[in-house]
Structure formats: C-alpha cells, structure tokens
Structure 1
Amino acid sequence: MPIDLDALSLSELRDLRNKVERAISSYEDRRRKEAMAAIESAAREHGFNLAELTGIKLSKSKVAAKYANPEDASQTWSGRGRKPRWVQEHLDNGKPMGELEI
C-alpha cells in the first residue's frame, strides 16, 4: 500500500521518518545477531569458540589448573570449558580422568 507523502503534514512526515529509522535500526540489529549466532555456531562446529579465533581475550578470572597432560606437563586444564584434545584422547582411550589430576 503506497503512502502519498505529499498528503502528509510536516509532523506526520517526521513521525514516519522516525518510524522508518527505528525499523531500519531494528532490522540491522536483528541481522547482526543472526550473523553473530551463525559465526559462533560455525566456530563451535570446528571445535573453537569465537574468542579463540579472533584473539579477543575475555576478562575472566584465572582458575588454577586441575589436570595436566602426562606427556607434556606444560599443557594444563582447569576443568572448565571445552576439554582440550589431549584430555578427550585420554578419555577416548578408556583411561580415567583421575590419572590426569595434578
């Protein structure tokens, strides 16, 4: 349904402009959120989180390590978040998690 802009008063035109600007902003926000969700989903499918891929460090408090890789003691894990590959391989081989405790 076309709008006859010539028939609108100045206040009606300004009101229409405000509504259009809000609709555009809402549309852009919605599309941005959809894009972010798609990016985060793709990262998870590949075994990463978005911070790992972008290099952005999230300000989280440091948690002490609870587990260490028996083959490389420099590789540790706090038990929070995604399991490192070496932990998952250890579990996949039927070994208990207790063997990795520090």
Structure 2
Amino acid sequence: MDIDLKELNLDELKSLQKQVVKAIGDFEQRKRDEALNAAKAIASEHGYNLEDLMGDGPTKKSKSKAAPKYAHRENPALSWTGRGRKPAWVIEHLESGKSLDELLIK
C-alpha cells in the first residue's frame, strides 16, 4: 500500500491519522479478544473457568478466630485475644496497678 503523503492536504492527512488510530485500536482489541478466548478455551479443557483461575470469581474468605492470649484469673471463661478493645475485666486489672503479663495464658 503506497500513499504519497506529500500530495494530501491537511484535512486529508488529519482524516487519515484518525483512521489509522482507530484501525490500530480495533486491531489491538481483536488481538486481546483472541488471546482471551484462547485462554478461556485452555482453562475449559482443564475443567476450570478462567475467572476463577484469575481470582476474579467469587471467593470466600473465612476469618479464623484468634486464640485467646489472656484469661481472667478467677473466671477462666473470660478470655481475650489481645486484639481490639480491652474487656472491662482487663481494664480493671490494669487500673489496680497490675501487669497485663499476669493475665497471659501459659
């Protein structure tokens, strides 16, 4: 394809430029679509969905409960992981001048 750009006026050059930009965008989109379809086909051959493999699918994240780190000395049913707000019994213990280390579960 030979185009003599020197023979085109400014409007024709700008029009050609717009057409080239659009053609490049269309070409790149086609190539992306082809690659995506090929990846989906390979994932399907192995019994998977591409979205699940890429992490875009629904995921369930279960939060594991932290093990208690501190326990009330008189009532062991009262415990605290050391995360979040301090329970009232921990605050009372600390306000009485005692150390948090005394409540550590050993």
Cα distance in 2 for partners of 1:55, 1:25 equals 27
1:63-78 equivalences under 5 Å are none
Percent of pairs with identical residues: 45
Partner of 2:71: none
Give the gaps of 5 or more residues in structure 2. Answer: 59-106
Cα distance in 1 for partners of 2:4, 2:55 equals 51
Cα distance in 1 for partners of 2:17, 2:44 equals 41
1:21-40 equivalences under 5 Å are 21-40=21-40
Which secondary structure does the structure 1 equivalent of 2:28 belong to? helix
Cα distance in 2 for partners of 1:18, 1:52 equals 38
Partner letter of residue 7 of structure 1?
Answer: E
Which secondary structure does the structure 2 equivalent of 1:2 belong to? coil
Partner of 1:14: 14
Give the gaps of 5 or more residues in structure 1. Answer: 59-102
Partner letter of residue 39 of structure 1?
Answer: A
Normalising by structure 2, we get a TM-score of 0.52
Cα distance in 2 for partners of 1:35, 1:57 equals 19
Partner of 1:89: none
Please report how far the alpha carbon of residue 18 of structure 1 lies from its aligned counterpart in structure 2 after TM superposition: 0.5
1:2 aligns to 2:2 (yes or no): yes
Please report how far the alpha carbon of residue 8 of structure 1 lies from its aligned counterpart in structure 2 after TM superposition: 0.5
* Larger CA Rg, structure 1 vs 2: 2
Partner of 2:53: 53
Cα distance in 2 for partners of 1:14, 1:43 equals 44
